[in-house]
Chain A
Amino acid sequence: MLKIERLSAQIEGIEVLRHADLEMPQGSTIALIGRNGAGKTSLLRSIMGFMKITAGQVTLDGNSLAQVPPHRRPYLGIGYAPEDRRLYGAFTLEQNLRFPAEVMRLPETEITRRLERVYGVLPELKDMRERPAAGLSGGQGKMVALGRALMAGNRIILLDEPFQGLAPVLAIRYGTALRALRDADRDITLLITESNPSLLRAFADRIYVIERGEVSPLDSLPASSLDDAGLGKH
């Protein structure tokens, strides 16, 4: 289980996370809801080791990740799909998918197994596998970014605003793919950030709200403060 405990982090001296607490039990789907600039990306980046942590810690199965450099974290089974897709334009779709597995020197049989898993969840990618990633549409790119996170992460998947900018049809398709993924692998843990709460409400086991770097479970908040944050239950 991944646990964030009293985590504070800074960017250029400004505190962007304040004593954040968040628990991700194995097999759960966690939604982290917040406006732009609330600290969603910073929280995911701290899990991946890219933030300057000033207090608190991130632990995996009880072990602190403080001493694990960013590039070793995928080896723990954590896959990360950053905001904005960030695919490699010079590679084909499948080269993008294979990349994290090749970097980690997984045996070819394991790479094939993981690729099949990705194509199982996102069958539309299989037909486009040879296409250059630079030529993919925004929505297709999001699917590839999800697939690439799945290639690295066999335990925990962090998705940063995956629904942002997706046309409604594609958003539904993306949600279906996530459900298929959970059905195929009951042990996989998902952390999904979103600025629009309605998209994940039906989907997540647990919802956290982040505002100005402070994280609170949704059900702990009074309705008035949710309305203030634009997250009212309607």
Chain B
Amino acid sequence: MSLDIILLAMLDGLSYGAQVFLVAVGLSLIFGVLRIVNVAHGSFYAIGAYVAASLGIWIATAGWSPWLSYPAMLVAAILVGVIVGGLLEATLLRRIYGKEQVLQLLVTFAVFMILEDVQKVTWGVKPYFVNTPLSLLGTVNVLGINYSVYQLAVIPLVALCVLLGLRFILRYTRIGRIVTAVTEDREASMAMGVDSSRVYLFTFMAGAGLGQIEGAAVAALMIGLGRSIAVYLAPEFDVLMPYLIMFVVLLFKPQGLFSTLQTRKV
């Protein structure tokens, strides 16, 4: 096993981990505040990617500057969050808060299946290739390995900004403190004037992170590195790796990676 392979695995792991983090942090926030495991969360990611791709193609065919594809990705994220997330929360999820978990799983799983078909109807089943954001920034040489700047710098940088931004919002702003408070104790917060249904809508549209942000970040990095090391060293474990990591974490830190939560004393 050469050093190159290890380095390549590290770079892959960083890039993949940053992507996983961006998805996980949304899932984590929604679970933290709404106490719902949103099975359809992956669909948000997929629809966001499709919208970004469509916007990218549209920008290219209109002959505009390819640099516009970066803000287009941000626009896609906001559109999907506000429209898909907002609609879903206001029409469906609002009815199942605090209900049995089986019902919540079934409902969000149904949404996942519906959204999957919506994607097929809207974008077809053929893959879209939009590599403008990737190719525009070129590659960088890291100790003899050529790696795309977009994957190595932009995605991790965005992930880092999201991490720091969310931490700042949650700690130092009024809305952040309200979100934190609802996460800790919904009823006590309502008794202090918090309109929790508005917080829920906001959370779902933001779809991005809280409380366990550090946990989401470290877990994503573990998964990213674990998987990319597996890809190079033991490809047959590639698919298994995330579950293996999950298993180990659940075995040793079942309360969460950074959780200080203690079992309730009676």
Contact = CB atoms under 8 A, between A and B. Distances in A.
Interface residues of A, number: 25
B184 A100 contact: no
Interface string A80-102: 10100010111100010001101
Given A102-B174, A152-B192, A152-B193, A50 B181 contact: no
B148 interface: no
Contact of B192 (A50, A69, A91, A148): A148
A60 to B, nearest CB: 15
Interface string A103-122: 11000000000000000000
B193 A90 contact: no
Interface stretch (A71-79, A166-174, A189-197): A71-79
Contacts of B180: 88, 90-91
Tell which of A69, A89, A103 has the most Cβ of chain B within 10 Å.
Answer: A103
Contacts of B178: 103
A95 B177 contact: yes
Contacts of A88: 180-181, 184-185
Interface residues of B, number: 19
A104 B187 CA distance: 16
A86 B188 contact: yes
B193 A89 contact: no
Contact of A48 (B174, B191, B196): B191
Interface in A141-162: 148, 152
A69 B191 CA distance: 10
A90 B191 contact: no
B260 A82 contact: no
Given A88-B180, A89-B260, A102-B177, A75 B187 contact: no
A128 interface: no
Given A99-B177, A102-B174, A103-B178, A86 B185 contact: yes
A226 interface: no
B195 interface: yes
A160 to B, nearest CB: 11
Contact of B194 (A71, A86, A134): A71
Contacts of A91: 177, 180-181
A103 B192 contact: yes
Nearest to A72: B193
A73 B187 CA distance: 13
A27 interface: no
Contact of B193 (A50, A74, A82, A95): A74
A70 interface: yes
B78 to A, nearest CB: 27
Contacts of A74: 191-193
Given A70-B190, A71-B195, A90 B184 contact: yes
A70 B191 contact: yes
Interface in B158-216: 174, 177-178, 180-181, 184-185, 187-196, 211
Nearest to B178: A103
B201 to A, nearest CB: 14
A48 B190 CA distance: 9
Contacts of B260: 89, 134
Given A86-B185, A95-B177, A103 B191 contact: no
A170 to B, nearest CB: 17
A71 B188 CA distance: 10
A168 to B, nearest CB: 20
A73 B191 CA distance: 7
Contacts of A95: 177
A71 B177 contact: no
A64 to B, nearest CB: 19
B211 to A, nearest CB: 8
A83 B188 CA distance: 10
28 contacts: A48-B190, A48-B191, A50-B187, A69-B195, A70-B190, A71-B190, A71-B195, A73-B191, A74-B191, A74-B193, A75-B193, A80-B191, A80-B192, A82-B187, A82-B188, A82-B191, A86-B188, A88-B180, A89-B184, A90-B180, A90-B184, A91-B177, A91-B180, A95-B177, A100-B193, A103-B194, A152-B192, A152-B193
Given A75-B193, A91-B177, A148-B192, 14 more contacts: A70-B190, A71-B196, A72-B193, A80-B192, A88-B180, A88-B184, A90-B211, A91-B180, A100-B193, A102-B174, A103-B178, A104-B193, A134-B260, A152-B191
10 closest cross-chain pairs (CB), A and B:
A100-B192, A103-B193, A74-B193, A86-B188, A80-B191, A70-B190, A71-B190, A71-B195, A104-B193, A88-B184
